[in-house]
Amino acid sequence: MKYVRQFLIITGISFLGEGLKALLPLPIPASIYGLVLMLAVLCLRILPLEAVKDAGKFLVEIMPLMFIPAAVGLMQSWERIRPILGQLIVVTVVSTVVVMAVSGQTTQAVIRRGRKERKNERDTV
């Protein structure tokens, strides 16, 4: 029953993201609205992490399965993709490298910040 409740909470917030997409004329996918809403709700402690933690872990674990329909769709569109395959490969490689670099720098900054905060706490105690 716990998992059902957690999935309903996640689904509800995703549904609110769909509603925002319908209301706001911005070119942002509804899933991004849902993710931002979930982040805001968790950061503002409106919803405790434990209320969605187990279902979230499960969804992350099965995430690779969610890419199968997209891959099948790409295979069905092969005739349209073939002429621009080189461009797609370049864009994919460049964007992957950029995302890796930005993610690495962000992670290092967060780790350094955490170390500074812990050091400052030890120095003040």
pLDDT on residue 119: 85
- The residues, ordered by sequence, that sit 6+ positions from 32 with a Cβ below 8 Å of its Cβ are 17
* Cα separation, 3 vs 8, whole angstroms: 8
pLDDT on residue 8: 97
Mean pLDDT, the chain cut into blocks of 10 residues (125 residues total)? 95 96 92 95 95 96 91 88 94 97 96 90 78
Q: How far is CA 110 from CA 9, 46, 115, in A?
A: 29, 24, 9
* Cα separation, 29 vs 40, whole angstroms: 17
Helices 30-43 and 2-23 meet at what angle, rounded to 10?
120
